[in-house]
């Protein structure tokens, strides 16, 4: 079954409830928001907010982060509503509330729309309309452009779709400054360039899962060799983007040194993955190492950026 057929089936299916379905538990609604992904979104948004050279009242700052989290949760729910049938075919996602039959599809749709609308509205009223506008666009980008259009149709899905995950630090910055300058754009670029090697490392050892449900991930469509080369080139670009805030004088050594060292380690792991040949997922240790390190990389690089900015503003002095 190809991706188009699967998504059409998903669109026309009324619900996926199992025979023993009674009513969805609140924990299922919580699971619908992809809490683990949300934690990374909250973290990068908070870093964007803290790195901004302005003042924001703690209550307004908390509200901004809450809205970004709610928006991320809403778009994740819409993603799962649309992809329920695809999720059912993959081991990694089969136990989500919809494919496992613990929730009706319409409930997920209403929950996703409600959460998204609420987040944008509160952000606009309480924080500012620039950050609300970027938040609304990022939700639309993830739920519609990425989930419905890019993901089932092109192996470049992760490359362009990665933009959706790159918005949070920009929104955090805009919440404080009510404008978007070069540094938040570089933070956007950092996540944007980081996303393909991060996901393709995962896709290499989960290739069979994606192939089974017809999602045209790079290893499935272009082959492993091309994917490995792409991982290497993106990691090289990541080194340049990560070093840019320091090179352009937007951040100091507290950021610059760890960012360059971590990016070189990233590149080293990516080189190992990029120039080897291995088809057996059970023997893909370097790919798993790169995937695990990429998550740590993003957390550390954003942390040192915030430390650098706070030190520069005298908060840590």
- Cβ atoms 144, 160 nearer than 8 A: no
Tell me if 23 contacts another protein by CB under 8 A: yes
Nearest to 269 by CA among 255, 284, 248, 247: 284
Cα–Cα dist 173/181, whole Å: 9
What DSSP state is assigned to residue 32? H
Q: Which residue has the tokens 């907010």?
A: 49
Q: Measured from the CB atom, is 21 or 43 closer to another protein?
A: 21
Tell me if 241 contacts another protein by CB under 8 A: no
Q: Measured from the CB atom, is 103 or 193 closer to another protein?
A: 103
Q: Which residue has the tokens 């017809």?
A: 214
Q: Measured from the CB atom, is 62 or 253 closer to another protein?
A: 62
Which of 1, 240, 265, 296 is the binder for another protein (CB under 8 A)?
1
- Cβ atoms 72, 196 nearer than 8 A: no
Stretch in the footprint of another protein (CB under 8 A) among 23-31, 185-193, 262-270, 291-299: 23-31
Which of 36, 55, 59, 317 is the binder for another protein (CB under 8 A)?
59
Cα–Cα dist 161/164, whole Å: 6
CB of 118 vs another protein, minimal distance in Å: 9
Q: How many CB atoms lie within 10 A of CB 185?
A: 15
What DSSP state is assigned to residue 215? -
**Applying CB under 8 A, what is the total number of residues that bind another protein?**
30
What DSSP state is assigned to residue 22? -
Site for another protein in 77-136 (CB under 8 A): 84-85, 88, 101, 125-126
Tell me if 63 contacts another protein by CB under 8 A: yes
- Cβ atoms 53, 92 nearer than 8 A: no
Site for another protein in 3-22 (CB under 8 A): 6, 9-10, 13-22
- 275 three-state secondary structure: coil
Stretch in the footprint of another protein (CB under 8 A) among 24-32, 180-188, 195-203, 258-266: 24-32
Q: Measured from the CB atom, is 12 or 36 closer to another protein?
A: 12
In the complex, the residues that contact another protein under the rule CB under 8 A are: 1, 6, 9-10, 13-26, 29, 57, 59-60, 63, 66, 84-85, 88, 101, 125-126
């Amino acid at each position: 079954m190809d991706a188009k057929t699967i998504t059409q089936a998903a669109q026309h299916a009324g619900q996926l409830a199992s025979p023993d379905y009674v009513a969805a538990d609140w924990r299922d609604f919580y699971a619908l928001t992809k809490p683990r992904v949300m934690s990374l979104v909250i973290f990068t948004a908070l870093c964007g907010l803290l790195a901004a050279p302005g003042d924001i009242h703690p209550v307004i700052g908390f509200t901004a982060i809450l809205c970004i989290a709610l928006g991320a949760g809403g778009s994740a729910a819409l993603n799962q509503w649309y992809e329920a049938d695809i999720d059912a075919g993959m081991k990694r996602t089969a136990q989500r509330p919809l494919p496992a039959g613990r929730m009706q599809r319409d409930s997920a749709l209403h929950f996703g729309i409600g959460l998204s609308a609420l987040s944008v509205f509160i952000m606009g009223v309480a924080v500012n309309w620039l950050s609300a506008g970027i938040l609304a666009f990022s939700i639309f980008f993830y739920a519609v452009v990425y989930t419905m259009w890019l993901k089932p149709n092109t192996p470049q899905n992760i490359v362009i779709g990665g933009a959706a995950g790159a918005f949070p630090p920009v929104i955090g910055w805009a919440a404080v400054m009510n404008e978007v300058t070069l540094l938040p754009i570089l933070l956007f670029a950092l996540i944007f360039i980081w996303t393909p090697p991060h996901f393709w490392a995962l896709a290499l050892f989960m290739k069979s899962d994606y192939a089974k449900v017809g999602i045209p991930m790079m290893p499935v469509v272009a082959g492993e060799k091309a994917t490995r080369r792409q991982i290497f080139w993106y990691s090289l670009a990541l080194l340049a983007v990560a070093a840019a805030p320091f090179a352009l004088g937007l951040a100091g050594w507290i950021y610059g040194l760890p960012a360059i060292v971590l990016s070189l380690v990233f590149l080293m792991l990516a080189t190992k993955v990029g120039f080897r040949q291995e088809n057996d997922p059970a023997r893909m240790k370097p790919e798993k190492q790169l995937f695990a390190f990429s998550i740590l990389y993003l957390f550390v690089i954003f942390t040192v950026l915030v430390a650098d900015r706070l030190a520069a503003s005298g908060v840590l002095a």
